[in-house]
Amino acid sequence: MGSYYLEASVRLIAHIRSGAGAFTDPTGSIVIRIMDPNSTRKVTDGAMTKFAEGKYYYDYDTTGEATGTWTWEAVASGSGGDKTIDAGQFTVLARTA
């Protein structure tokens, strides 16, 4: 979990590992879901970008958003249905003078 000031871009990184612990890519697509501190879903099935085998990222801009603790989950969606593969939290802080 990291902390970011309002108007910052937050890079959320998801790691996907096989049962043996090696990084691997799923057969379906990887999407992200982000909830604000009020439990309002701000991103529904946003496409994540692959940067290495089993590693994906999503950049989220906090400009104009609520302060507090946010949650996210990376989901693999495919023929077998949706499966959460990684999840986390981050905190958005108000800027002070």
Question: Which residues, in sequence order, are bridge partners of residue 86?
Answer: 74
- The pLDDT tens digits for 4-52 are 999 999 999 999 888 888 998 888 889 999 999 999 999 999 999 999 9
Domains plus CATH for the chain?
2-93 (2.60.40.1930)
Give the pairing type, strands 49-52 and 55-61: antiparallel
Run of H or E including 84: strand 81-93
- Whether the Cβ atoms of residue 21 and residue 15 lie closer than 8 Å to each other: no
Q: Who has greater pLDDT, 76 or 81?
A: 76
Identify the band that residue 97 occupies on the pLDDT scale cut at 50, 70 and 90: low
The pTM score is: 0.89
The 10 Å CB-count burial string (b at 16+, else e) for 17-41 is eeeeeeeeebeeebbbbbbbeeeee
Instruction: Give the position of tokens 């089993």.
Output: 54
